């Protein structure tokens, strides 16, 4: 089934579309087989959220845009699932916010790293980091510790969609501002984040980009106000309430 074979009138259109993209990602060597399990888990939470962007998530996406715009060195971290689901959306956001793209994988092989980097370039990326891996995130013993010295290691703000909880915690310990996209408000990743975004990545990335465009001419003082007024705990509580009661 291709994207065009799924009619938009189908009640499960977006769900079927994302499943297909993940399946194709596995076939191309972009996504690991474990990514299929992660996708299913996220889909379950999205179903509980009503497959919609909550007002609290939209607010978090605006705050994320403000962080990226005022950052010294913003980086968008890319794993196999995100590369399969939303390559063009990642590249557009990187362009609007002048952020670097860096491939970072738990199930890391040099072949997968280069395959994902090439996949992003095929969709319009000019430069993709992650192949050098000349630094390590302290406190991690697995492959996600490997980062580029002039990428995630140097970044002050990192967008980490569909992130592992231990790396999210380790990045926070390094003093980096983390913007985490995760459909599970109880996961360690959003609970470690300065800005937890409880939303589907295919909705969240375009929303952050739209907010960044709206805020492009905002003053430093306005961006600071947006960031300082944000309450991450309230955002997580709103998402959990929506799951439990279907109430915004």
Contact 127, 101 (CB under 8 A): yes
pLDDT tens digits, 188-246: 899 989 999 999 999 999 999 999 999 999 999 999 999 999 999 999 999 999 999 87
% of the chain beyond a pLDDT of 70? 93
Q: Which segments within the chain are labelled E, that is strand?
A: 74-78, 100-103, 135-136, 146-147, 157-161, 177-181, 195-197
Give the 3-state secondary structure of residue 158.
strand
What's the whole-model pTM score? 0.91
- Assign residue 214 a region (left: φ > 0; alpha: ψ between -120 and 50; beta: otherwise): alpha
Domains of the chain: 55-245 (3.40.50.12640)
68 token code pair:
């990226």
pLDDT tens digits, 14-53: 777 777 788 888 888 888 777 777 777 888 899 899 999 9
Residue 83 has pLDDT above 50, yes or no: yes
Contact 147, 135 (CB under 8 A): yes
């Amino acid at each position: 089934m291709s994207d065009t074979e799924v009619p938009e009138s189908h009640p499960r259109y977006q769900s079927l579309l994302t499943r297909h993209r993940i399946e194709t990602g596995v076939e191309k060597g972009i996504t690991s087989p474990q990514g299929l399990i992660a996708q299913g888990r996220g889909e379950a939470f999205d179903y509980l959220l009503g497959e919609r962007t909550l007002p609290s998530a939209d607010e978090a996406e605006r705050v994320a845009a403000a962080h990226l715009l005022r950052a010294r060195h913003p980086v968008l971290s890319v794993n196999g699932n995100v590369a399969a689901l939303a390559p063009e959306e990642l590249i557009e956001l990187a362009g609007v916010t002048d952020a670097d793209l860096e491939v970072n994988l738990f199930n890391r092989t040099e072949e997968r790293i280069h395959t994902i980097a090439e996949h992003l370039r095929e969709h319009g990326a000019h430069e993709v980091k992650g192949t050098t891996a000349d630094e390590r995130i302290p406190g991690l013993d697995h492959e996600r510790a490997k980062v580029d010295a002039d990428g995630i290691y140097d970044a002050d703000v990192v967008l980490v969609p569909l992130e592992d909880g231990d790396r999210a915690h380790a990045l926070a310990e390094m003093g980096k501002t983390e913007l985490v996209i995760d459909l599970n408000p109880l996961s360690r990743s959003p609970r470690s984040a300065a800005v937890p975004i409880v939303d589907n990545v295919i909705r969240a990335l375009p929303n952050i980009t739209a907010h960044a465009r709206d805020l492009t001419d905002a003053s430093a003082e306005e961006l600071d106000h947006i960031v300082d007024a944000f309450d991450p705990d309230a955002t997580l509580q709103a998402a959990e309430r929506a799951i439990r009661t279907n109430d915004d």
